[in-house]
Amino acid sequence: MTSEIPEPKTKVIAETDNYMAWQADEPDGERTYHLELQNFTLHFFQEEWEEFLNLICALRE
């Protein structure tokens, strides 16, 4: 008997030639965010993502 493991539903938020931001709605209901920066990928939970966005906005001021 095989049981399939549910896959997260993903969505690209923004993309350039070298970078990509995407979100994943995990099977457990958690939404995670991911930044692919060439050879690095950063993973964020919702609260971390919001704090990161606040940081980026503060850099623009």
* Angle made by CA atoms 45, 20, 14, in degrees to the nearest 5: 90
In angstroms, the Cα distances linking 23 to 9, 28, 39, 46 are: 8, 14, 18, 10
Q: How confident is the model over 3-51, as pLDDT tens digits?
A: 788 899 999 999 999 999 999 999 999 999 999 999 999 999 999 999 9
Kindly list the domain boundaries of the chain, sorted by start residue: 9-60
pLDDT score at 59? 95
**Is the pLDDT score of 56 beyond 80?**
yes
Q: What is the mean pLDDT of residues 49-60?
A: 95
Cβ(8)–Cβ(26) under 8 Å?
yes
pTM for this model (two decimals)? 0.85
